[in-house]
A and B are shown apart, each in its own frame.
Chain A
Amino acid sequence: MAATKPHVIEIIERCEALFEDLHFNAVQQWKAAAPGRKAIGYMPVYVPRELIHAAGMLPVGILGGGDALEVIQGDAYYQSYICRIPRSTIELGLTGRLDCLDGMLFPSICDVIRNLSGMWQILFKDKYVRYVDVPQNYQDEIGGRFYIEEMQQIRDDLAKLRGAPITDAELNASIDIYNDNRRAIRDLYTYRASKPWQAPTSEVYLLLRAGMVLPVEAHTTLVREYLTAVEQLPRPKRDNARVVINGSFCEQPPLALIKSIEMSGCYIVDDDFMLVTRWLLDDVPADRDPLDELSKAFLHRSATTAAKYENTREEKGVFLMKQVKTRGAEGVIFAAPSFCDPALLERPMLQDVLAKHKIPYTAFKYAENTGQMAPIREQAGTFADSIKLWSAA
């Protein structure tokens, strides 16, 4: 009699299948399930997905092509010194893999993604395309007013696309649903930090990736199922170093890289993968003016990354230090994509803050299609060993 597969493994296998599917069949199936359904893609770091959801559309996170996509046409659009995510995203588009999307949102993160919005306007003229500017001024009456108008424009555009206005009640319902998802993700991250041997990041990562293509309600259920199921499968606890990953907020590392870091003796206890799922740090009130509340959450209660301006020098590194302290991390691994200006320019400042707090760190670069993991495993392994030696001293 064949042994029954643990449920947690089934969940992760499902997530992995979604992750590996570069034709976005899950999105196609969702659209096919009811006439008139639409899907809107978005790129890192953050867009208010509630707007898309409230329009009855499926928000789809587009994070490049990973290491399984052969980029042929995309390379003809970019010089060698530009990162890989735009070229693989163009490849996905030109090969018809993104035909299931009715539009694309390009958030303000860097000059490359910004310019990609214009390329998309030229290359995919029949699709809805919008650059999403988010404020770098955090006063409600200044940056907030601007951001509310920006969101209102997207709301109007999506309403036009669906043929009916998006009401405040619909938006508040969507905020409520995303609050639930954010709570589930927070639980997942808290659980991983408390028992990283039970919830390895290679699994947590796949769970988050599933949230890029699944409806949010289904994703919330899946995360909670995982949390229940993973407790049923005791896993061995190792004497690993607890680390935070920083710099991977846009172009994603290959899954093998995450596994390599873990195999080298590190428990990843926090990270900045797919920050869209954790950008807003707490619940957004769902019974008031929805755009106003989304704006306030963005301005005053959101995560920090290199693409976001910090008003004072004293704020630099505070978010990362909080990750380190609250997760009980012993070190930080800076893993940034090659040619990623925001991450690579931010890195020396964060390293300086860590040094002042005597937090060890190491750094390397990757591309989404990096294939050679031995050097990374060696570097991360040495880093983990050194942490263990220091902590024993």
Chain B
Amino acid sequence: MNIPIAMPKPTGTAKRPAAPVQKDDAMNLQKELINRNYMELATARANNRKVSATFVPGNLNELLMCFDFARSLPETNALQNGMRKKSGKMIMDAERDGQSEDVCTYVKADLGMMMGGEIGPTGDPLPRPDILLLSYTGCFTFMKWFELIRHKYGCETVMLHVPYQGEGKIAPNMRNYVVKQLKETVIPTLERVSGIKFDIDRLRQYMRESVKAEEDLVAVLQSAKHRPSPIDGYFGAVYYIGPIFTAFRGTPEATEFYRVLRGEIEERIRLGKGPVTPDGDMGEEKYRLIVEGPPNWTSFRDFWKMFYDEGAVVVSSTYAKVGGLYDFGFRHDPEHPLESLADYCLGCYTNLNLPSRINMICKYIDEYQADGLLINSIKSCNSFSAGQLLILREVEKRTGKPAAFIETDLVDPRYFSAANVKNRLESYFQMIKQKRTSGTAASAPAFIPIAAAS
């Protein structure tokens, strides 16, 4: 069932009357969950709860729940501020405070938010964390990010070093290293800060709950193999991955969310419907794409609209795997809880080497019968972006499908040039059409990056 919710209209369509945003039940449930978490954080001090912060890729939500922490995810805070058009000022405040214009805008948005009085995206207080769990899976910048917060605010930090899959596999040494850190540094620190003794059976119980949600999430993500796809595996998936990638994995609420979501998606398949977009059900599915790279958040709706207006649906994306490769079989394992947490961290998308990322994208193109690959290259994110032009070439070479490249940013509105992105997308859709007609790739080089904001 679709429920209209009033939301700010896209900035690019300012002259049109504001249309109510279409969301299905699961999307509303997701919004409720996210808002509830912000309320838990806002009331944490009053409720005598300790607050943790940790990053999305490789987050150890089940473990943190064992210590009753209220859980903050800094990237989520930054992107929520981005979607609410608040991040631009925060970034500039951080730059005025000495941060370079060259570095990650998530970091600067977070620092700017804290400088602005530690008020979260919803307008409620976002208390200073009692512990920063630095699980820096797949991103070196995470390390500096928490060092910066620690330096400024004195928050205690505990490091969980997750080795990179440089050889394209998880070696026993890597797993043992992560497990040892969990046992000997991370868990003892969390016990000390929270004052709660670790109970491995409690962890197991959360993991059992995680598995149920993971099963349903995979069914949802893989539903895009149908024609038409009942979901958008990038823009829509942002809503779907929200609870499981953040503070809810392992909770009954997340299990319920994914059960409801799966039911809705199965109903859409039965009815032969495409994805729900902010403007309602998507029309005819003309293009099926794989997208690599995170979305732009400051113009999220405008960006999505450029796709669904043209009948383009993203059937799978790598971004929807930053918090775990569930569709490749990973499940939290209550029988081997710490080893399973290690494998979870080690297996997140940005912890994969480039050949593995290319293999994964090629597999998606094949299994989801996609027309091609679109790379949204993010200025802020070297972890994703460095090497993407080679990914593009290799995927084109191996699949024979056309690929295209656009450049935006995560939460810096200065780096989203709607006209440039739209032009590039329209050219790309033309290229796909031409390829279908002629059976060959268009002659225009697809890999020339467009300028970012002009």
Number of interface residues of B (CB under 8 A): 58
> How many A-B contacts at CB < 8 Å in the complex?
170
**Which residues in B have their C-beta under 8 angstroms from that of A82?**
382, 385-386
User: Which of A110, A117, A313, A341 meets B151, CB within 8 Å?
Assistant: A313
Other than A77-B390, A114-B166, A115-B353, give 19 A-B pairs with Cβ distance below 8 A: A76-B389, A76-B447, A79-B389, A111-B140, A115-B387, A118-B357, A121-B355, A131-B353, A142-B181, A143-B177, A146-B176, A309-B143, A313-B150, A316-B147, A341-B102, A341-B141, A342-B144, A345-B103, A352-B151
Interface residues of B in 187-216 (CB under 8 A from A): none
The verdict on B223 contacting chain A, using a C-beta distance below 8 Å, is: no
For residue B29, give the distance in angstroms from its CB to the closest CB of chain A.
35
Q: Is the CB of B390 within 8 A of A123?
A: yes
Q: Is the CB of A115 within 8 A of B386?
A: yes
**Which 10 interchain pairs have the tightest Cβ spacing?**
A118-B354, A131-B166, A345-B144, A146-B177, A136-B161, A149-B173, A344-B100, A115-B387, A111-B382, A118-B353
Roughly how many angstroms separate A135 CA and B163 CA in the complex, as a whole number? 8
**Which residues in A have their C-beta under 8 angstroms from that of B140?**
108-111, 114, 307, 341-342
**Known pairs A131-B167, A307-B140; A345 contacts B148 (CB<8 A):** yes
The verdict on A130 contacting chain B, using a C-beta distance below 8 Å, is: yes
Question: Which chain B residue has the least Cβ–Cβ distance from A310?
Answer: B147
**Known pairs A116-B387, A316-B151; A365 contacts B163 (CB<8 A):** no
Q: Is the CB of B107 within 8 A of A345?
A: yes
Roughly how many angstroms separate A351 CA and B97 CA in the complex, as a whole number? 11
The verdict on A99 contacting chain B, using a C-beta distance below 8 Å, is: no
Roughly how many angstroms separate A145 CA and B383 CA in the complex, as a whole number? 27
**Which residues in A have their C-beta under 8 angstroms from that of B161?**
135-137, 143, 309
Q: Is the CB of B98 within 8 A of A137?
A: no
Q: Is the CB of B154 within 8 A of A313?
A: yes
**Known pairs A309-B161, A313-B154, A365-B102; A111 contacts B143 (CB<8 A):** no
The verdict on B164 contacting chain A, using a C-beta distance below 8 Å, is: yes
Q: Is the CB of A79 within 8 A of B353?
A: no
**Which residues in A have their C-beta under 8 angstroms from that of B389?**
76-79
Q: Is the CB of B151 within 8 A of A133?
A: no
User: Which of B150, B174, B390, B407 meets A119, CB within 8 Å?
Assistant: B390
The verdict on A347 contacting chain B, using a C-beta distance below 8 Å, is: yes
Interface residues of A in 275-319 (CB under 8 A from B): 306-307, 309-311, 313, 316
Q: Is the CB of A115 within 8 A of B354?
A: yes
Q: Is the CB of B184 within 8 A of A142?
A: yes
The verdict on B410 contacting chain A, using a C-beta distance below 8 Å, is: no
Interface residues of B in 136-193 (CB under 8 A from A): 136, 139-141, 143-145, 147-148, 150-151, 154, 157, 159, 161, 163-164, 166-167, 171, 173-174, 176-177, 180-181, 184-185
For residue A92, give the distance in angstroms from its CB to the closest CB of chain B.
16
Interface residues of A in 92-122 (CB under 8 A from B): 106, 108-112, 114-119, 121-122
Q: Is the CB of B159 within 8 A of A341?
A: no
The verdict on A9 contacting chain B, using a C-beta distance below 8 Å, is: no
Per-position 1/0 for B57-100, Cβ under 8 A of A: 00000000000000000000000000000000000000001111
- The residues of A with any CB-CB pair to B shorter than 8 Å are 76-82, 86, 106, 108-112, 114-119, 121-123, 130-131, 133, 135-137, 139, 141-143, 145-146, 149-150, 153, 306-307, 309-311, 313, 316, 338-342, 344-349, 351-352, 365
Roughly how many angstroms separate A344 CA and B140 CA in the complex, as a whole number? 13
Per-position 1/0 for B352-375, Cβ under 8 A of A: 011111100000000000000000
Roughly how many angstroms separate A365 CA and B100 CA in the complex, as a whole number? 10
For residue B267, give the distance in angstroms from its CB to the closest CB of chain A.
41
Q: Is the CB of B353 within 8 A of A341?
A: no
The verdict on B449 contacting chain A, using a C-beta distance below 8 Å, is: yes
For residue A246, give the distance in angstroms from its CB to the closest CB of chain B.
14
**Which residues in B have their C-beta under 8 angstroms from that of A311?**
157, 159
Roughly how many angstroms separate A81 CA and B163 CA in the complex, as a whole number? 26
Q: Is the CB of B185 within 8 A of A142?
A: yes
Q: Is the CB of B177 within 8 A of A145?
A: yes
A-B contact pairs, 14 of them (CB 8 A): A78-B389, A79-B379, A111-B139, A121-B354, A121-B355, A137-B159, A137-B181, A142-B181, A309-B143, A313-B150, A339-B102, A340-B102, A344-B103, A348-B99
**Which residues in A have their C-beta under 8 angstroms from that of B144?**
306, 341-342, 345-346
**Which residues in A have their C-beta under 8 angstroms from that of B164?**
108, 114, 131, 133
Roughly how many angstroms separate A131 CA and B118 CA in the complex, as a whole number? 39
The verdict on B104 contacting chain A, using a C-beta distance below 8 Å, is: yes
The verdict on B30 contacting chain A, using a C-beta distance below 8 Å, is: no
Q: Is the CB of A119 within 8 A of B354?
A: yes
**Which residues in A have their C-beta under 8 angstroms from that of B181?**
137, 142
Question: Which chain A residue has the least Cβ–Cβ distance from B445?
Answer: A76
**Which residues in B have their C-beta under 8 angstroms from that of A309?**
134, 143, 147, 159, 161
**Which residues in A have their C-beta under 8 angstroms from that of B253?**
none
Roughly how many angstroms separate A28 CA and B171 CA in the complex, as a whole number? 35
Roughly how many angstroms separate A123 CA and B389 CA in the complex, as a whole number? 13
Roughly how many angstroms separate A131 CA and B356 CA in the complex, as a whole number? 14
User: Which of B139, B177, B452 meets A142, CB within 8 Å?
Assistant: B177
